[in-house]
Chains A and B, each alone.
Chain A
Amino acid sequence: MRENATLGIIFSNVHDEQLGVLTEKRTTGSVPFGGRYRLIDFTLSNMVNSGVEDVGIIAKSNYQSLMDHVGNGKDWDLARKRGGLRILPPFGHANSGIYRGRLEALFGAMSFIRHSLSEYVIIADGSLIANMDYEKILAYHEETGADITVVYQKETLNGEIVPDTALLDLDESGRVTGVRLGNQFHGEQNSYLDVCVMKKNLLERLVSDLSSRNLYSFSRDLLQGSVGTLHIQGYEFTGFARKVCSLKSFYASNMELLSQDVRKALFLKERPIYTKVRDEPPARYGLSASASNSFVADGAVIEGRVENSIIFRGVKIGKDAVVKNSIIMQGSTIGEGANLDYVITDKNVLIKDSRILMGFATYPVFIAKGSIV
């Protein structure tokens, strides 16, 4: 690929409302994930691993933690003179409030997009857990001569409520003939993964055109609205992909990391997932510690028992404590003899000695950032 031939745009705030407590003080993109990551690390690393070195992250609100996490982009090799990483906070129009949809957000970032000399633009959500090679999507896009290429995954849906779902109807050639939007579907479907590619000048034209008619939704107004007039092509992604769009999917996709196959699909040696470096020492296990089926990050100190859990950086688990089926985020401390089952603790939580907290697989207990139990 030509250098900086493609501009990357990442949405960091898309599921803020659905994630509720997790995004009270942060963006969707900066929600901690998998022991040492933030959700946005996957999309950001995909960009870098696919040779996209000019990336804008669209932020809406609560983006302090996001800025703190990505910094100047050096941990993703994006601290560059030519291109590199840019955070795009809301652009204050006199009459604009906060973005209502992705399209409106793109309109706010128009000057950044126009300024780029790239021919193509790849637009992706910062809440998709996947290791995706965008170069293949770009190649497919050029090959099919499509105006827009959208990435989807075949899925069997069971009628569960999944917010912000877009399903694609495709003809035999893979061309999109219809887009259905909603949050409750059944059966074998083609779920849009919120990753798409098009020529940058097409995006500019569509965004200014639609915005002038006060339309703001990317999937409804831009995709659904253009099915008849533009060639929209579907690209099937067959690897592991999960959209994190609710507390439930957050818990489930974390737990899936305990499967070796999932880890192999997500964390590839030649396409690593980068994250902010924290300089923690290796994890330490004490004399009476035990661990099983768990994902444990550096800086953790484990004296008790850990099973089927995700343990983040700098977590301390006291003697005789038992942590099962839980996600313990960065800097939390679990006191001696405490017993946790199906619990999500946000960052810097203190569970005092001998406390007992039990949730259930479909309804894990959530402890807010900095709480003391």
Chain B
Amino acid sequence: MFRKKEWIAMLLAGGQGSRLYALTRNLAKPAVPFGGKYRIIDFPLSNCVNSGIDTVGVLTQYQPLVLNDYLGNGEPWDLDRSNGGVHVLPPYQKSSGSDWYRGTANAIYQNINFIDRYQPEYVAILSGDHIYKMDYSKMLRVHKEKGADCTIAVLDVPLEEASRFGIMSADEEGTIYDFEEKPKEPKSTLASMGVYIFSWECLRRYLTEDEADPKSSNDFGKNIIPKMLAAGQKMVAYPFDGYWKDVGTIDSLWEANMDLLNPNVPLVLGDADWKIYSRNPVMTPHFVHPGATVQNSMITEGCEVAGVIDFSVLFAGVTVQQGAIVRDSIVMPGAVIEEGAVVEYAIIGENAVIGKGARVGVRPENIIDKDQWGIAVIAEGVHVGAGAVVAAKAMVDQDIAGEEC
């Protein structure tokens, strides 16, 4: 009934993204809007399709409504297939009891039946919260050439940042001989990108063993990888030198969006041979009113711009009224910036309204105590009243009354 597949992908999309606070109140991190018309999950999903993977299991757990809705039948990514395609895999009740996904490895373990149906030789395990463009098929070729049991994509990071990642030590051949999850004193600068290719038969065995170990936290980085390494399985590091960014924090999410405006950053969204697909809103081209100023910005369809836009990313259907100023900011779908409002160094959530003359965020040069400075965040649907002031670094998840009220 199910045709055998050489490889399939499992996309871990259950993360809450708690460090994005207000932005992930009602949706999982992979569903957070990014880059004008995308959501974070578009990147790994498009990478899969562009790499020739036509079967993707998406593991969801935290606030899956938006994500489920967004993925739908997978048509925007060409993943509406009768054999394969995209499958949303939430935790489910079994005859032996029910369980949430306890860790990344446990999430895959609970879906062994799904994977087995396709009898794949290889399984790619991906995480749903990174921005990058990568050809997984090249990585698979290396996996096969080296006869590896597990291949881990690695990025050379600055030494001072290395302790935030899983750090690998590899010999000249790329064979990994040491792995440490978030080490205090990193021995190398090769950081795991959270992209793995496993030979399924081998992974299946380790998942089953790991599940039987009550002390394990059922996590790839903490348990599976160290166990495989200790048992002498062939582990290979696959170096990647393109753009890659973990958008797990407010600052990194803001930065990654701003990177799109920087011509020197090697993340091109428009190249025809590696498109990033997304579910398109049905909207008109954007309209720039007479008297508006738009510079060094990205503007998506459905926007109406009458104010000043500088170094900003406007998502679909955003309105910026006359006299309003948006600088160094991200304005998510459907938000309205009313007349004379000023938005600087801020992230404005979906459908939020910034009232007339309100001020959100502060430029770093206009603040004396630099510790008080940061990106201001307005959560989805929040209404900031006319004339209200939102400080730098503030995290607003409730309506703020305006002056006239």
Instruction: Please list the residues of chain A having a beta carbon within 8 angstroms of any beta carbon in chain B.
Output: 34-36, 74, 258, 260, 263, 267, 272-274, 277, 279-299, 301, 306, 310-311, 314
Contact = CB atoms under 8 A, between A and B. Distances in A.
Contacts of B261: 284
A225 to B, nearest CB: 41
Nearest to B279: A277
B284 A285 contact: no
A118 B265 CA distance: 57
7 interchain residue pairs of minimum CB distance: A282-B36, A35-B285, A281-B269, A297-B285, A282-B300, A291-B288, A272-B282
B298 A291 contact: no
B144 to A, nearest CB: 31
B294 A295 contact: no
B288 A294 contact: yes
Interface string B35-79: 111000000000000000000000000000000000000011000
A283 B285 CA distance: 9
B282 A282 contact: no
B90 to A, nearest CB: 27
Interface of B: 35-37, 75-76, 261, 269-270, 275-278, 280, 282-301, 309, 313-314
13 contacts: A35-B284, A273-B284, A279-B275, A281-B276, A282-B298, A284-B297, A285-B297, A285-B299, A285-B309, A292-B289, A295-B286, A296-B287, A298-B300
Given A272-B283, A279-B275, A297-B286, 17 more contacts: A36-B301, A267-B283, A272-B282, A273-B282, A281-B35, A281-B270, A281-B276, A282-B300, A283-B286, A285-B296, A291-B288, A291-B292, A292-B290, A296-B287, A296-B288, A297-B285, A297-B301
B296 A295 contact: no
B295 A288 contact: yes
A292 B309 CA distance: 13
Contact of B280 (A263, A277, A286, A295): A277
B295 to A, nearest CB: 6
A306 B37 CA distance: 23
B284 A292 contact: no
Contacts, number: 105
Given A277-B76, A292-B290, A286 B298 contact: no
Contact of A283 (B277, B278, B284, B299): B299
A296 B284 CA distance: 9
Contact of A279 (B280, B282, B292, B313): B280
B313 A282 contact: yes
Given A74-B75, A288-B295, A297-B301, A282 B37 contact: yes
Contact of B270 (A273, A277, A299): A299
B73 to A, nearest CB: 11
Contacts of A293: 288-290
Contacts of B314: 282
Nearest to A301: B270
Nearest to B297: A285
B304 to A, nearest CB: 8
Contact of B296 (A34, A263, A273, A286): A286
B282 A274 contact: yes
Nearest to B271: A281
Contacts of A298: 37, 285, 300-301
Contacts of B36: 281-282
A160 B139 CA distance: 66
A290 B294 contact: yes
A26 to B, nearest CB: 20
Contact of B295 (A272, A281, A290, A299): A290
Given A292-B289, A297-B285, A279 B278 contact: yes
A294 B277 CA distance: 26
Contact of A282 (B289, B290, B299): B299
Nearest to A282: B36
A283 B300 contact: yes
B110 to A, nearest CB: 33
Nearest to B270: A281
Contacts of A34: 284-285
A327 to B, nearest CB: 12
B296 A282 contact: no
B284 A284 contact: no
A285 B295 CA distance: 5
B21 to A, nearest CB: 25
A234 B202 CA distance: 74
B299 A281 contact: no
B284 A267 contact: yes
Contacts of A292: 288-292
A224 to B, nearest CB: 38
Contacts of B280: 277, 279
A188 to B, nearest CB: 32
A281 B285 contact: no
A315 to B, nearest CB: 11
Contact of A287 (B270, B284, B289, B296): B296
Contacts of B287: 258, 260, 263, 294-296
Contacts of B285: 34-36, 295-298, 310-311
A265 to B, nearest CB: 12
Contacts of B309: 285
A66 B76 CA distance: 21
Contacts of A258: 287
Contact of B298 (A272, A283, A290): A283
Contacts of B298: 281-285
Contacts of B299: 282-283, 285, 296
Contacts of A299: 270
Contacts of A291: 288, 292, 294
Given A287-B295, A288-B295, A290-B295, A281 B37 contact: yes
